[in-house]
Chains A and B, each alone.
Chain A
């Protein structure tokens, strides 16, 4: 990818499987990604493509019966998958933090906002005094622009709106100044005006702190606005990877092309929105070869043989497609 500096996070050959009655199925199957320092990596894909499982795998929070079966997750060169449970706890919250899609249920209803924020701080700084933690938590609430933070500190989550709760989640996630924030569909459950505010806030906080962000979303608009680099996922694999501008202006994988074709745009005249034929295959019934080929208008016989690896089509622009770049074929 762009830049020669060592990235903050590098994911290599990550494979996360779930045990079912029919055997093991891979929700994430051989993913390579990297997140540069201070930048935002957007991961896009439809529901079920494995993007949330990917983020939980980085945090080692995949719930039973899932487990990370192979690969490396290198944070500044240290493989998180090799850490002991206690070492991993130290990483969570302090170096890598996470916010989730559902701000309504992601906070515990029986503890105050202040308690939940100070609890995160105390986990990584057990010697801090109560008063000091309180000051720092109120500072954190101020940083995410929550009005009357002293009052909010004492309140329970059910008194807050969805947008406010997501701000509290962000304040909690950033309480220990992590180097990497994983945001899993952070704005999906919010209404549009609040979405924009939360995205603005994330961008501002990134500039203040210099943290890296992994932004997981199905919303191409959010990616276009936020991401520096983009990875497109389909059926557990990365199918295209490039700088954000390149993906939007010059998509090379037929799936990306299909995704972009299904988004209404104001700057182009389009008679009808294009839909991708068919639906995402379930992980227990993946087609052989390229996983997109049954839905791909450009598929040829070779596509059914072997899954195509990611390869550089242009400098800094990779796609996992035998026929890429396909934009010329589409024209």
Chain B
């Protein structure tokens, strides 16, 4: 188990390096000059050149990348071009709300998806199965921004049931919970469909497995047969899918945070990119990618928890 974990962590290192490299390169391709942005529209050529030298932008690209890595190793992500705040400080205040939103979204969508998929699989071919699958296909096809806007329009604006602009407090307060409901419904809504479909496929598979027949032959009731012997085994592929989907969820978080003015990393990233704030944009990319790598690491470890063959193999 420990060896498995160390192996996975070791594999994450080159991936993270690739992310840093690509993130850095992307910022080089963008046709905006950060020094010009920083200097402002009225600055002279000399001022722009001085700022360029100050930011190290006059050096060759690979030197810039080396310096960048060196600073990164010391926890220095640079300074925001727009407001001169350290990027780490900006990120520190936004990571919390993003993690909060992700957690609140997963908290309801994964159990619901697994429940719907299992129900559909158990009564496969029935009307209930078809209804669940129709809803999840619809769920897969609805873009995040559309679902968000519909919720804002009806629940937030027309019926005035819930707030829809920004975070109103930590999750242990009543206001905090009310404010997170709509963003979490929007972001989690993307996940229910895929999880339900994958669960259905996996449970249909395991329900016809030999060991499920054994479980019935032992005289177990259907609840135990389904939960312990079909769903429990089906979770292995389902967890893999959830790990992959969380990548999309991070993308969805960018959209959701923007339309709900949620003060998270996603909204920060959009703002940074739109205003050509390179150090800040790079910082958000690093955080979002590291989040994705971390989630996949957790999925890999969960794998070992769920499947003894991985644990001891």
Contacts and interface: CB of A to CB of B under 8 A. Distances in A.
Contacts of A98: 217
Contacts of A89: 219-221
Interface string A166-191: 00010011000000000000000000
Given A108-B229, A110-B233, A93 B210 contact: no
Interface string B225-242: 000110011001000000
A110 B210 contact: no
Interface stretch (A116-124, A199-207, A217-225, A240-248): A116-124
B218 A108 contact: no
A73 interface: no
Which of the listed residues B210, B217, B307 has the most CB atoms from chain A within 10 Å of its own CB?
B217
A106 interface: yes
Given A106-B211, A108-B229, A109-B309, A59 B217 contact: yes
Contact of B219 (A94, A105, A106, A107): A94
Given A100-B213, A107-B211, A110-B307, A123 B233 contact: no
A61 B217 contact: yes
Which of the listed residues B218, B220, B228, B309 has the most CB atoms from chain A within 10 Å of its own CB?
B218
Nearest to B230: A108
A89 B41 CA distance: 81
Nearest to B124: A64
A105 B215 CA distance: 12
Contacts of A102: 210
A83 B150 CA distance: 52
Contact of B217 (A63, A92, A124): A92
B160 interface: no
B308 A93 contact: no
Interface string A137-159: 00000000000000000001011
A216 B273 CA distance: 71
Interface string A82-98: 00001001111110011
A100 B217 CA distance: 10
Nearest to B216: A61
Interface string B196-221: 00000000000011110111111111
Contact of B218 (A86, A109, A119): A119
Nearest to A176: B219
B306 interface: yes
Contacts of B209: 105
A217 to B, nearest CB: 18
B312 interface: yes
Contact of B214 (A90, A100, A123): A100
A288 interface: no
Nearest to A117: B218
Contacts of A105: 209-211
A78 interface: no
A96 to B, nearest CB: 9
A92 B215 CA distance: 10
Contacts of B216: 61, 92
Interface in A41-95: 59, 61, 63, 86, 89-94
Contact of B215 (A91, A108, A110, A124): A108
A91 B216 CA distance: 11
A111 interface: yes
B309 A158 contact: yes
Contacts of B236: 110
Contacts of B228: 108, 111, 119
A150 B217 CA distance: 25
Which of the listed residues B209, B236, B308, B312 has the most CB atoms from chain A within 10 Å of its own CB?
B308
Nearest to A90: B219
Given A158-B308, A158-B309, A109 B217 contact: no
Contact of A100 (B210, B232, B309, B312): B210
Contacts of A111: 228, 232
Interface string B276-313: 00000000000000000000000000000011110010
Given A110-B233, A110-B307, A158-B308, A119 B220 contact: yes
A102 B210 CA distance: 8
Nearest to B215: A108
Contact of B312 (A93, A107, A156): A156
B301 to A, nearest CB: 16
B218 A172 contact: yes
Contacts of A109: 211, 233, 307-309
B212 to A, nearest CB: 8
Contacts of B233: 108-110
A123 B218 contact: yes
Interface string A254-290: 0000000000000000000000000000000000000
A108 B219 contact: no
A152 to B, nearest CB: 14
A97 B220 CA distance: 12
Interface string A3-22: 00000000000000000000
Contacts of B306: 110
Contacts of A97: 217-218
A327 to B, nearest CB: 39
A99 to B, nearest CB: 8
Which of the listed residues A92, A106, A159 has the most CB atoms from chain B within 10 Å of its own CB?
A106
A157 to B, nearest CB: 9
A117 B19 CA distance: 49
13 contacts: A89-B221, A92-B218, A92-B219, A93-B217, A107-B211, A108-B211, A109-B233, A110-B308, A119-B220, A120-B218, A123-B218, A123-B224, A172-B214
Given A107-B214, A111-B228, 4 more contacts: A86-B221, A93-B218, A100-B213, A105-B210
Counting from the closest, the 3 A-B pairs by CB-CB distance are A93-B219, A92-B219, A120-B218
